[in-house]
């Protein structure tokens, strides 16, 4: 189950220059500020890492989802316990706007940061939590509360990938796409270059075989929800204007690429079990029983 980076970067880190690709006029200023910050900081190793588990109570599809009981334990506790096993995290916190969630988390020993109800997504919640933390961190890992089966090795994998790629501000993970998910728009596909940097993410099948069929020989990649960010980048990320491809696909991470930032993708072995609707709980419990996971 250990992540094998598609490509471990071998180039010397200190000589790398920050390159801004095809910047659109509207985003030019924000990107220029970002670029200068990273140029200045690129010699320093980003060593201090915080894991943040954003947890939101009110969800249109699944009210109170983080607290749902899975084989006798709240889902958020499972995510927290799994994340605790990651060796690269200096600190782990739950970020929530809800007192019930906060109370539950303090009950099993988690640190909790209260964030405002106005956060529109997990990224914004992580960004707000980062500003409220007492200590400074170089890297933030956004661990989604409903991916409670995320292996700690995957968390460590995305952190190490970002540390090894000083020209990247973002890292994430992908696993093999199952052929039956090829045309499911809820399964996001991605393609990377030969050094493991993201080229594009899509709800459509990429690459698209000329024949119009799924190519059984091609190693298609399925994007996973875990992501880590350079903390300076996380401060400006939610404020970057939405971009055309992001809006068209409804994929937040495209905003990163469209603004010319670099993103590292590691390839891992992982079976996806998101809990999106109450009916998913039973499915995941039977999967866990089968695999002897408790
Ligand atoms: C498309 O997929 C087939 C296998 O189904 C493969 O042989 C072929 O090389 C792929 N690419 C093109 C351009 O047809
Ligand atoms: C979060 O949600 C808001 C509103 O939908 C959106 O503008 C923003 O791009 C999203 N992503 C980030 C990183 O803030």
Please give the radius of gyration of the chain, using alpha carbons only, rounded to the nearest integer: 19
Place of tokens 């924000």: 30
Q: At residue 292, what are phi and psi to the nearest 5 degrees? A: 60, 35
> Encoding tokens for residue 80?
């927290």
**Contact 27/35 with Cβ under 8 angstroms?**
no
The atom of ligand 1 lying closest to the CA of 209 is 1
Element (H, E) at 79: helix 75-84
The pTM of the full predicted model, rounded to 2 decimals, is 0.83
What gap in Å lies between CA 143 and CA 102, rounded to an integer? 16
What atom of ligand 2 comes closest to residue 240's alpha carbon?
9
Ligand closest to CA 258: 2
How does pLDDT run along the chain (294 residues), one tens digit per residue? 344 333 333 333 322 222 222 223 333 334 444 444 454 444 568 999 999 999 998 777 888 999 999 999 999 999 999 999 999 999 999 999 999 999 999 999 999 999 998 888 999 999 999 999 999 999 999 999 888 889 999 999 999 999 999 999 999 999 999 999 999 999 999 999 999 999 999 999 999 999 999 999 999 999 999 999 999 999 999 999 999 999 999 999 999 999 999 999 999 999 887 788 888 999 999 999 998 887
Ligand 2: residue whose CA is nearest its atom 14? 238
Report the Cα–Cα distance between both ends of the chain, in Å, rounded: 17
CA of 43 to the centre of ligand 2 (A): 30
The reply to whether ligand 1 has any atom less than 6 angstroms from the CB of 209 is yes
Taking each helix axis from N to C end, the angle separating 75-84 and 99-107, rounded to the nearest 10 degrees, works out to: 50
Of all protein residues, whose CA lies closest to atom 3 belonging to ligand 1?
215
**Contact (CB, 8 A) for 226 and 274:** no
- Two tokens, residue 184: 């499911």
Handedness of CA 214, 251, 149, 162 (dihedral sign): positive
The residue to which tokens 């990163």 are assigned: 256
Q: Locate tokens 């190793």: which residue?
A: 45
Ligand 2: centre distance to CA 238 (Å): 6
Counting ligand 1 atoms within 8 A of each CB, the residue from 179, 208, 211 with the most, and so the one to mutate, is: 211
């Amino acid at each position: 189950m250990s992540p094998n980076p598609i490509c471990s970067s071998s180039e010397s880190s200190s000589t790398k220059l920050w390159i801004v690709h095809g910047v659109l006029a509207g985003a030019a200023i924000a990107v220029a500020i970002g670029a200068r910050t990273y140029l200045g900081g690129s010699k320093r190793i980003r060593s201090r890492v915080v894991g943040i588990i954003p947890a939101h109570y009110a969800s249109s599809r699944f009210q109170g989802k983080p607290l749902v009981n899975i084989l006798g334990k709240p889902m958020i506790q499972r995510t927290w316990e799994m994340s605790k096993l990651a060796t690269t995290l200096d600190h782990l916190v739950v970020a929530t706007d809800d007192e019930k969630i906060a109370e539950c988390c303090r009950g099993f020993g988690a640190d909790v940061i209260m964030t405002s109800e106005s956060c529109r997504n997990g990224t914004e919640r992580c960004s707000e939590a980062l500003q409220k933390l007492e200590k400074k961190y170089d890297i933030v890992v956004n661990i989604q509360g409903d991916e409670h089966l995320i292996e700690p090795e995957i968390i460590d994998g995305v952190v190490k990938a970002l540390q090894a790629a000083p020209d990247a501000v973002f890292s994430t993970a992908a696993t093999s796409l199952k052929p039956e998910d090829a045309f499911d728009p809820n399964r996001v596909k991605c393609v990377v270059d030969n050094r493991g940097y993201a080229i594009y993410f899509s709800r459509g099948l990429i690459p698209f075989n000329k024949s119009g069929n799924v190519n059984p020989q091609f190693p298609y990649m399925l994007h996973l929800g875990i992501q880590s960010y350079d903390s300076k980048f996380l401060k400006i990320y939610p404020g970057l204007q939405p971009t055309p491809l992001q809006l068209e696909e409804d994929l937040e991470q495209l905003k990163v690429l469209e603004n010319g930032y670099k993103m590292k993708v590691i390839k891992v072995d992982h079976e996806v079990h998101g809990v999106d609707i109450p009916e998913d709980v039973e499915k995941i419990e039977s999967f866990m029983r089968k695999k002897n996971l408790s």
